[in-house]
Structure 1
Amino acid sequence: MVQRLLLAGMLSGLVVALFAFSFARVYAEPTIEQAIALEEIGAHHHAGVEEGTVSRSTQRNAGLLTGLAAYCTALGGFLAIGLAFLHGRLSVRPRSAVWTLAIAGYVSLVLVPQLKYPANPPGVGSAETIGVRTELYFVMIMLSTACMAASAWIAHLMRLRVGSAISVPIGTGMFVALAFLFMTMLPAISETPHDYPRGLLLEFRVHAALLQMIVWGGLGLLFGQMAEHVVSRDRRAEGVARRGIPNA
């Protein structure tokens, strides 16, 4: 069953990548083009424009599709592995388990880190601090993931004693408190120029957030349905085998 779940998860990721690519190509890319145009204007005023090794046509077409396909396929595989681990350990349907994993993954890997360090369009941020900004972003991801894992474990232990009605709110509150604590502890970074168009910045960040929601929500919807089918088929096969009837 694990292999079938993994295949279903990866196929779901490929399908979701096509939807995500369509959204990014139609809505996000024009915003990026505007940001690049502003960056080039600023570069002309200083030291000239540095030519990129990959053309923008390749970046926004084949490059974008390839990146999203790899990203979504990997996420689908991770969700499949997580579902295989939880199968039989939680008394919930596979669809519900997939949605739980997708929501937990989105919150811990995307929402919390981007609340602390929001996505920025091209031209925003100093080249000298890109290493530090990248390190801090990944530290926030690791801390947020650790908070989610610890909160889920505590909620699971409490559920065995007091039930889900109490353990789930406590686990959620614990995650929010821990995540907020680490968000306040890590240094803030704000390198957006004062004269940068606020509308363009907001539009870019909204599109980035919507793209992630399409990816995680699409995987929860599509892979949840496919996982339900895979698990149900596996259970029927087990029932047939137990009755000693050849599986046609």
Structure 2
Amino acid sequence: MSSPFNAVLRRGLLAGAFAGLTAALMSMLLVQAPLQASLGIEEARSHASGEHAHEEMFSRPVQVVGGMVAAVLVGVAIGVIFAVVFASVRHRMTARTDFGRSLQLTAVGFFAVSLLPAVKYPANPPGVGETESVSGRTLAYFSFIAAGIVIVLAAHHLRGYLAARGWSPSSSVTATAAATVVLTGVALWAWPANPDPIPADVPAALLWQFRLASLAELAGMWAALGFSFGLLNEPNRTEAPTEALAT
């Protein structure tokens, strides 16, 4: 017989697959149009400079399908991690149902892993960014994700600390929210800016269309993950001690 933790893990895998499929479909509907326009600008730039565009290993349709498959696989990985974290912190969350707890964890995950990095380092389409700066930009991006997770953990522990000191729920939430805003502001100020300038031939409207579409894709993935995991988990919820989920 499977353990409660294994059951939660399977639900995370299923919810992650659904979230990845949602992200893939949103990419097709929202991201592909500005992406194609950006590729056209990049190709025109190569022709204008007299360079010959290199032959791609895979055709554009194959790349699109590969990107959709990758989105599903990433969704599955995130779903598994989500399930492990949920099983570990379920008994510490304030929502009364597993559906509500799933939405709470989804909001935290989206804020720390997707929204904050998108504010500091918004997605750029092809043709924006120098090859030489890829390593530095990647390091800054993932370190900022780590900073977002640290901010969330600090806020969680601060709220628990204030509650243990007799603060009212409303006061502890207000103080925690204020501290989170301050820490977020410090992180946004402390991390280096994106070193790559925006080329003059990339229209601002196209740039922001791509950035907002990319963020919408991430938001759709997290929303699909939270709702589907909550719905899968809620019918199986018990009031037994949650520590059993992690065993």
Match 1:205 to one of 200, 208, 211: 211
Larger mean Cα displacement after TM superposition, 141-150 or 12-21: 12-21
2:122 counterpart of 1:121: no
Report the Cα distance in structure 1 between the residues aligned to 2:168 and 2:234, rounded to whole angstroms. Answer: 25
Quote the residue 2:243 is aligned against.
Answer: none
Deviations 1:223-245 (A, max 9, x none): 1111212224x85xxxxxxxxxx
Report the Cα distance in structure 1 between the residues aligned to 2:142 and 2:99, rounded to whole angstroms. Answer: 30
Quote the residue 2:199 is aligned against.
Answer: 193
Per-residue deviation, 1:170: 1.9
Per-residue deviation, 1:48: 2.1
Does the C-alpha gap of structure 1 residues 182 and 122 become closer, same or farther in structure 2, counting only changes over 3 Å? same
Does the C-alpha gap of structure 1 residues 45 and 19 become closer, same or farther in structure 2, counting only changes over 3 Å? same
Please give the secondary structure, in 2, of the residue aligned with 1:87: helix
TM-score by length of 2: 0.88
Larger RCO of the pair (alpha carbons < 8 Å, separation 6+): 2
CA contact (8 A) 1:159 1:166 kept: no
Instruction: Extract unaligned runs of 5+ from structure 1.
Output: 236-248
Report the Cα distance in structure 2 between the residues aligned to 1:12 and 1:139, rounded to whole angstroms. Answer: 27
Per-residue deviation, 1:16: 2.4
Quote the residue 2:84 is aligned against.
Answer: 81
Per-residue deviation, 1:163: 3.9
2:180 counterpart of 1:175: yes
Quote the residue 2:245 is aligned against.
Answer: none
Deviations 1:172-225 (A, max 9, x none): 221221121121112222421133111111110111011011001111111111
Aligned-residue Cα RMSD (Å) equals 1.7
Report the Cα distance in structure 2 between the residues aligned to 1:175 and 1:53, rounded to whole angstroms. Answer: 46
2:37 counterpart of 1:34: yes
Report the Cα distance in structure 1 between the residues aligned to 2:221 and 2:192, rounded to whole angstroms. Answer: 29
Report the Cα distance in structure 2 between the residues aligned to 1:172 and 1:74, rounded to whole angstroms. Answer: 30
2:61 counterpart of 1:57: yes
Aligned-pair identity in percent equals 25
Deviations 1:51-101 (A, max 9, x none): 23332211111x122211111112211221122112333453211211111
Please give the secondary structure, in 1, of the residue aligned with 2:13: helix
TM-score by length of 1: 0.88
Report the Cα distance in structure 2 between the residues aligned to 1:100 and 1:197, rounded to whole angstroms. Answer: 37
Instruction: Extract unaligned runs of 5+ from structure 2.
Output: 241-247
Match 2:152 to one of 148, 171, 179: 148
